Structure 1
Amino acid sequence: MAEQVKRELKRSLKTIHLWGIAVGLVISGEYFGWSYGWDKAGTLGFMITCLVIAAMYTTFIFSYTELTTSIPHAGGPFAYARRAFGPTGGYIAGMATLIEFVFAPPAIALAIGAYLGVQFPGLDPKHAALGAYIVFMFVNVIGVTIAATFELCVTILAILELMVFMGVVAPGFAWSNFMAHGWSGADQFSSASISGMFAAIPFAIWFFLAIEGAAMAAEEAEDPRKTIPRAYISGILTLVVLAIGVMVFAGGVGDWRQLANINEPLPKAMQMVVGVDSGWLHMLVWIGLFGLIASFHGIIMGYSRQIYALGRAGYLPSVLAKVNQRFQTPHWAILAGGVVGVAAIYADSVVQLQGMTLTAAIITMSVFGAIVMYIISMGALFKLRRSEPHLDRPYSVPFYPIFPCVALILALVALVAMIYFNQTIFAIFIGFMVGGYVYFLATSKARDEAPHDEMLVMVGE
């Protein structure tokens, strides 16, 4: 009989650390990526899309928190789906989450390069992105408390910088600028406006993508059944306010179409108000990097815990579950995700998908993983309510089953729309899922021999 798994990750994270991780994972979405949605839907159409997606995330987070507190596990959604649906369900959730978290960092790293390029025009953004990977993989290796404290500090600085941005551009704001060409590049609402709103879904999701990753630090949290709900609920409220504020102020300072297809919309928006040589602009670039760094660093922490959990359970090679004895961090998992991310960065010169920039394509790939994971997580919530009614649930989703139903329905609509508008990227996503499933089928012996984890074992397994 397989031995019970020995937990090796260190419990040291408090509520404030988890809030910093939850917000920090996402906050780069306020600095870049979302403006590609303007290109699809216009400012007004994208605002509607964002409000619907905000509703999806709010109901999802309230629902997801029930799972994270009932099953506090480094694998996050992989753990919930495996307990609810068995090994195959665990694979689907785990692989989808892995795609989400491995493909988000290269998009952020390229944005870091773009922000630095504002200050240093001759700098190759890909080389800057590579440097970011090297530095922040090292920070993640040397210890979770150091990594989480750093995450908290840069997240607070990033929030302050977004508030400074809104304050500095406010004198140049005009609703007429925000509303001009507001419906898919036109002044009037039409059927094309509806199409544009659906096409913009991935970039609205980018505003909130990866907040669920705080669950992957559950095994390193002090009293996760209390700290995680507090972190999640305060985190989603923080992000909704920042997302709407940044989008409105950036869109109202001038011709927003100049910001719609670039990786550094906030510096360009501020430039419209204060000019190229203003000290405010240079401050935004330098301090604004903290927002990108917060998400980049936090998602590295998230993908490493997902890889670690999958390796520990026999879904990936067991070497990826090894923990550094000095720092008690999953160093091989950190490095493995970094290799994939760096490869994606340097695919910029050879990959053109559906007429997108590589950054937009990587964002869309990451969002496909997220949406599939959200769907199976809500399915796991409903399944566990039926199959394990006596499971200890320190936190129960309010308004059950309305909240998880809303989250599930909106996620399904988002998935269908994304498939329709991004068929090439979806085909690649399916290729990753199928390739991983072949490995999954070929390695059943490794899973049978993996240590049993008491929080993953289903009733009767």
Structure 2
Amino acid sequence: MKSESTTQHKGAVTHHELKQTLGTWQLWGIAVGLVISGEYFGWSYGWASAGTLGFVITALFIAAMYTTFIFSFTELTTSIPHAGGPFAYARHAFGPTGGYIAGAATLVEFVFAPPAIALAIGAYLHVQFPGLEPKHAAMGAYLVFMALNIVGVQIAAAFELCVTLLAIFELLVFMGVVSPGFQWPNFTKGGWAGADTFSMGSFHGMFAAIPFAIWFFLAIEGVAMAAEEAKNPKRSIPIAYVAGILTLVVLAIGVMVFAGAAGDWTKLSNINDPLPQAMKYIVGENSGWMHMLVWLGLFGLVASFHGIILGYSRQIFALARAGYLPEWLSKVHPRFKTPHRAILAGGVVGIAAIYSDELIQFGGQTLTANIVTMSVFGAIVMYIISMLSLFKLRRSDPDMERPFRAPLFPYFPAFALVAAVISLATMIYFNLLVALVFAAFVALGYGYFLMTRHQREVAPADALLEE
């Protein structure tokens, strides 16, 4: 009887397989590409509350959190190379409920990040084509890149690497073009929450800016969701993660400082295209450099948009395969071997968010700012449960194969955990309405989780979680 059950499970798993094709450079391209749009927009909203100098401190704190987090998270990714990523780690550590919390949080992060990026793509295109409605352009971006992701992960990853390299080149060009007009007084004027000197009010602004500092690095952990498609995940993922976070920290600091020193930074703090507007201070509105930046700038946005579609589709796929979402979402395309239904499902939610101004634009924030904040709430909750999973598995499963071990354990994961808890507490304080909406999503999902226990019991065996 046991052998029959095993045979059924193995047969079921073959209908839910992903193809292993990704190498180290492709994974690095995904790691940087997932995040690099954060260098193009989103972060400048943090200037509105913290000022430039205050936001530098916030950004450095968050950079330290991400660096320690990634070094710790890599241990989990290489030990449990699973398309579900954080969902798989938490399920292994804390059982089905832990898996649900991590999976739901990751889903919110990866499903709500793309519409914010799509709106930025629309804003960049609107600069070149004023008659083009940004929201329609955003929807068009969804349709194009969902199709590309469905065609195949090898093609998608090759495209991701190319646009990521172009995006990095473009950021370096931006810094080079604006450098002749670099004026440090431009950056420091009103740099402490709108004031020229530090005060207790500066702390208030620095904490309020945390979501936008997180946007600099949000979604780098999405590489974990491509782990089942990596040729040698135990070797290639650590290299991709470490090289990726170092690349992003350097680019984030460079872009922020050069943009703020180009002119009046206050005019860049509540818009979706701060880099082209910063360049206008130096080269003027009709410069060829300006038009080049807009077009090349799209590569950075496209890299993240395309990469996060890959990430959310694998999360939906893994949750559906394990019975946490409807089973039909876990079907793999018979020809392309990609989770096409999961790709389309996340796209439907994202497009709906783009056109939901009345529902999402509240609390005095723009539509983009609220979508960014919602995505960050999911990320922070996932970071917390991932670090807790690391500590739990070190105790409960000490003999687990760990090809990469978190350096300076327990200090690195402890710092990442404490920083994430501080970030979550301050985000709830400053964004209570968005926090309540996030909590409502998780609560509704938990109701579905409780009602579908049988669905998980009959789900195909998952060898990576059953070991």
Query: TM-score band, normalised by the shorter chain?
Result: over 0.9
Is 1:226 the equivalent of 2:235? yes
The residue that corresponds to 2:287 in the other structure is 278
Give 1:349 shift. Answer: 5.0
Is 1:328 the equivalent of 2:363? no
The residue that corresponds to 1:94 in the other structure is 103
Is 1:388 the equivalent of 2:391? no
The residue that corresponds to 2:62 in the other structure is 53
State the one-letter code of the partner of 1:304: S
Whole-angstrom distance in 1 between the partners of 2:156 and 2:360: 33
Residue 9 of structure 1 aligns to a residue in which SS? Answer: coil
The residue that corresponds to 1:68 in the other structure is 77
Whole-angstrom distance in 2 between the partners of 1:86 and 1:353: 36
The residue that corresponds to 1:446 in the other structure is 455
Is 1:354 the equivalent of 2:354? no
Give 1:188 shift. Answer: 1.3
Residue in structure 1 matching 2:438, options 416, 429, 447? 429
- Deviations 1:186-215, CA, capped at 9 Å, x for gaps: 111111100000000000000000000001
Contact 2:74–2:404 at 8 Å: present in 1 too? yes
Whole-angstrom distance in 1 between the partners of 2:361 and 2:265: 25
State the one-letter code of the partner of 1:99: V
Give 1:454 shift. Answer: 2.2
Whole-angstrom distance in 1 between the partners of 2:367 and 2:466: 40
The residue that corresponds to 1:119 in the other structure is 128
Whole-angstrom distance in 2 between the partners of 1:183 and 1:380: 37
Give 1:452 shift. Answer: 2.0
TM-score using structure 1 length: 0.98
The residue that corresponds to 2:142 in the other structure is 133
Contact 2:360–2:371 at 8 Å: present in 1 too? no
Residue in structure 2 matching 1:247, options 256, 259, 269? 256
Whole-angstrom distance in 2 between the partners of 1:457 and 1:196: 46
Give 1:350 shift. Answer: 5.1
Whole-angstrom distance in 2 between the partners of 1:256 and 1:121: 24
Whole-angstrom distance in 2 between the partners of 1:291 and 1:353: 28
Is 1:145 the equivalent of 2:159? no
Is 1:305 the equivalent of 2:283? no
- Deviations 1:2-31, CA, capped at 9 Å, x for gaps: 725345100000000000000000000000
State the one-letter code of the partner of 1:374: Y
Give 1:289 shift. Answer: 0.1
Segment of structure 1 superposing worse, 161-170 or 181-190: 181-190
State the one-letter code of the partner of 1:312: R
The residue that corresponds to 1:110 in the other structure is 119
Whole-angstrom distance in 2 between the partners of 1:177 and 1:26: 27
Whole-angstrom distance in 2 between the partners of 1:352 and 1:358: 5
Residue 465 of structure 2 aligns to a residue in which SS? Answer: coil
TM-score using structure 2 length: 0.97
Residue in structure 2 matching 1:170, options 165, 175, 179? 179
The residue that corresponds to 2:372 in the other structure is 363
RMSD: 0.9
Residue in structure 2 matching 1:33, options 36, 42, 66? 42
Equivalenced residues, count: 458
Residue in structure 2 matching 1:179, options 188, 193, 206? 188
State the one-letter code of the partner of 1:153: C
Is 1:269 the equivalent of 2:278? yes
Whole-angstrom distance in 2 between the partners of 1:121 and 1:268: 15
State the one-letter code of the partner of 2:84: G
Give 1:348 shift. Answer: 2.3
Give 1:451 shift. Answer: 1.6
Give 1:246 shift. Answer: 0.0
Is 1:12 the equivalent of 2:21? yes
Give 1:352 shift. Answer: 2.3
Change (3 A) 1:100 1:408: same
State the one-letter code of the partner of 2:110: F
The residue that corresponds to 2:464 in the other structure is 455
Which stretches of structure 1, 4 residues or longer, exceed 6 Å deviation after superposition?
none
State the one-letter code of the partner of 1:11: Q
Whole-angstrom distance in 2 between the partners of 1:200 and 1:457: 41
The residue that corresponds to 2:416 in the other structure is 407
Whole-angstrom distance in 1 between the partners of 2:19 and 2:361: 42
Segment of structure 1 superposing worse, 345-354 or 217-226: 345-354
State the one-letter code of the partner of 1:164: V
Give 1:455 shift. Answer: 1.8
Whole-angstrom distance in 2 between the partners of 1:57 and 1:392: 24
Whole-angstrom distance in 2 between the partners of 1:148 and 1:228: 14
Residue 27 of structure 1 aligns to a residue in which SS? Answer: helix
Segment of structure 1 superposing worse, 154-163 or 4-13: 4-13
Residue 403 of structure 1 aligns to a residue in which SS? Answer: helix
Change (3 A) 1:349 1:118: farther
Give 1:114 shift. Answer: 0.4
Is 1:161 the equivalent of 2:206? no
Whole-angstrom distance in 1 between the partners of 2:54 and 2:363: 21
Whole-angstrom distance in 2 between the partners of 1:223 and 1:116: 39
